[in-house]
Amino acid sequence: MRNNIVFGNIEEALPGETENAESVVRDFLVSKMKLASDLVSEMKFERIHRMGEKRPGKNRPIVAKFNLFKERELVRRAGSALKSTPYFIHEQFPKEVSDKRRKLVPKMKEARNKGSRAWISYDTLFIDGKPFKDSAN
């Protein structure tokens, strides 16, 4: 999962139409994330596919496994271009890490509301540069 990025809320093909997830992601990188088309065309992916079951009215996320970590990081850092849009990207983590991060998000938001700098790195919450210790965890 180290080289994976999850793309969210990208429209799916209409029922009965086939979708090439790789071309959808490449178009998304150029049109929505404003990456250079020559750079995107050179990127190599190991695999790209939609996750989960189809549900009416819902767009399944797309997971892309990059061949090069450097390219994955380039895309991840360009994710700020998606602010104030309905789209999002994030790293893919193992279930245990995702569950821990989900529990840390409210604590991070609370710290930010109090004026502290707070962020989550992998499965650790940092508040003002120091790892957050919670007696409940």
The residues spanned by each domain of the chain are 4-91, 95-131
For the entire predicted model, the pTM comes to 0.84
Please give the average per-residue pLDDT across 38-57, as a whole number: 94
Q: Output the average pLDDT for the chain.
A: 93
Can you tell me the distance from the alpha carbon of 95 to that of 105, in angstroms, rounded to the nearest whole number? 15
Kind of pairing between the strands at 118-121 and 130-131? unpaired
What is the CB neighbour count within 10 angstroms for residue 43?
Answer: 19
Give the pair of three-digit tokens for residue 28: 């998304």
- The model's pLDDT over 15-28, given as tens digits with 9 standing for 90+, comes to 778 899 999 999 99
Structure confidence at residue 30 as a pLDDT band (50, 70, 90): very high
**Does domain 4-91 sit in CATH 3.30.70.1820?**
yes
Residue 136 has pLDDT above 70, yes or no: no
- The model's pLDDT over 49-72, given as tens digits with 9 standing for 90+, comes to 999 998 888 999 999 999 999 999
